[in-house]
Amino acid sequence: MQNMTVTAKYIVLFVILTLLAGCATTGQINVKEQEVALQKANQELLEDQLLDVWIELFDPGELPKEADDARGLSMEIREAEARHMPVHLRGVMEKTGYWGAVRVVPRHTEGAEVLVSGTILESNGEELVLQIRAQDASGYQWYERSYSADIEAAVYEEEKGKADVFEALYHTIANDLAEFRNTLTDKQRLVIRQIAEMRFAADMVPDAFVAHLSKDDKGIYSLARLPAEEDPALQRVRVVRERDFLLIDTLNGHYDNFYQEMATPYQEWRKARSAEAAALREVKRKANTQKAIGVAAILGAIAIEALGGSNSQVSTGTMRDVMVIGGLYSIKRGIDTNAQSTIHQGAIEELGESFSSEAKPMVVEVDGEIHQLTGSAEAQYEQWRDLMRKIYSSETGLDPVSSSSAD
């Protein structure tokens, strides 16, 4: 009886450890379903219940180390995907009704109420793996999880007309964000909005607003105090912030154009990349099989030669010759098939280069003036911010704060 009790205790302990291990892996979500229902608000939410979301341009990540896995991929494609995927996620989140304005912004943006950032861990037409991190204006991290999904080449034909073959993955991300948002109280949402405004103000005019915030050793912001509503400095910052929203909305319009122009070549590239990769694997499998058959045939012929005496040479000669010739032919077919694999590899690389040439960033027009945004997304945003500071200066008469001094 005592042994049974001890055994029962071990069973309970095992169950507890198993559950804890399960909790520890919640940071990895494998989306196996092709259809995931998008969670939507049951009714229209009041404005004070909404939080604005900024989705940073994704980090393109790194290409696979293995040469075969990296065939047809390039950093140019990844950079294009890093602009394309946040726009698609934005569209999905806008359909839920849980959020205020959802915008795509360059990385390292200051002033967001909710900031979603992502890293492309894998994207090759067959597999998509995204590392997603969400935090609010206080710096509190909601969660960080990796989302993965795999599809077969046939899905591209079956899902024609669908917004994205990995739509289920995007729905899962949006659902998780909405689920966390729904745990917040009205008071928590208000504080998040207030901290976001103060962080923007402190970034624009540090001398006037930095004392309104405190930051602990973990990087979490809290409100030290709030300025008076009639504070002229606050009123000016709010005007500039609205102009900043307009600038970002203009930038989003160009991201939208980029997204639309990229949609068809991107879908075709992923479809072809998936088909070519599958064909390459099949070619290599056949090549290895044919080579193995050829070597076995030749070894078999050598064995016949070794075992057969002088009296058997005539009777076995024909079989031996046939096996040698057949073996050499199989090896040749394997070599020829390997040559075909090189052709497939070249086709994938050509597709990648072709796609890269079609996915180019665009110039931006603001108030009738054309501005060329160059360099990385971070550099482009700094140009946006400098432009905004000049507008701030012209409207308020105050000296603009440069990007370097703002940091």
Averaged pLDDT, 392-397: 59
Q: Give the model's pLDDT for residue 271.
A: 80
* Res. 310: pLDDT tops 60: no
- The mean of the pLDDT values for the chain is 76
The DSSP output letter for 48 is G
Averaged pLDDT, 282-289: 60
Averaged pLDDT, 54-80: 87
C-beta of residue 63 within 8 angstroms of C-beta of residue 74: yes
Q: Is position 54 within any domain?
A: yes
Averaged pLDDT, 284-297: 57
Averaged pLDDT, 386-404: 60
Averaged pLDDT, 209-225: 92
Write the CA distances from 367 to 246, 247, 364, 371, integer angstroms: 11, 10, 10, 10
Q: Which residues contact 69 (CB under 8 A, 6 or more apart)?
A: 124
Q: Is position 48 within any domain?
A: yes
* Res. 320: pLDDT tops 90: no
Q: Is position 176 within any domain?
A: yes
Domain count, the chain: 1
Q: Is position 117 within any domain?
A: yes
* Residue numbers of the domain that contains 92: 29-270
**Which position has the higher pLDDT, 8 or 326?**
326
Q: Is position 309 within any domain?
A: no
Q: How confident is the model at residue 286 (pLDDT cuts 50, 70, 90)?
A: low
Q: Which residues of 189-199 are buried (b: 16+ CB within 10 A; e: fewer)?
A: bebbbbbbbbb
* Res. 345: pLDDT tops 50: no
Q: Is position 325 within any domain?
A: no
**Helix boundaries (H) for 134-231:** 155-158, 167-181, 186-204, 206-209
**Which position has the higher pLDDT, 275 or 10?**
275
**Which position has the higher pLDDT, 73 or 37?**
37
Q: Give the model's pLDDT for residue 3.
A: 47
Q: Give the model's pLDDT for residue 312.
A: 52
Indicate the range of 54-63, 107-116, 180-189, 299-308 predicted with least confidence: 299-308
Q: Give the model's pLDDT for residue 185.
A: 95
Q: How confident is the model at residue 174 (pLDDT cuts 50, 70, 90)?
A: very high
Q: Which residues contact 30 (CB under 8 A, 6 or more apart)?
A: 148, 149
* Res. 379: pLDDT tops 50: yes
The DSSP output letter for 59 is B
Q: Is position 376 within any domain?
A: no
Q: What is the pLDDT of residues 324-335, one digit of tens each?
A: 555 555 555 545
**Which position has the higher pLDDT, 11 or 156?**
156
| Helix (H), strand (E), coil (C) string for 65-134 | CCCCCCCCCCHHHHHHHHHHHHHHHHHHHHCCCCCCCEEEECCCCCCCCEEEEEEEEEECCCEEEEEEEE
Q: How confident is the model at residue 110 (pLDDT cuts 50, 70, 90)?
A: confident
CA distance 399 to 396: 9
Smallest CA-to-CA distance from 136 within 196, 96, 176, 178 is with: 196
Q: What is the pLDDT of residues 159-173, one digit of tens each?
A: 666 678 899 999 999
**Which position has the higher pLDDT, 24 or 137?**
137
SS3 56: strand
**Tokens found for residue 233:** 């400095």
**Which position has the higher pLDDT, 302 or 57?**
57
Q: The pTM is what?
A: 0.72
Q: How confident is the model at residue 344 (pLDDT cuts 50, 70, 90)?
A: very low
Q: What is the pLDDT of residues 234-246, one digit of tens each?
A: 998 898 888 888 8
Q: Give the model's pLDDT for residue 255.
A: 84
* Res. 317: pLDDT tops 60: no
Q: Is position 297 within any domain?
A: no
CA distance 120 to 379: 20
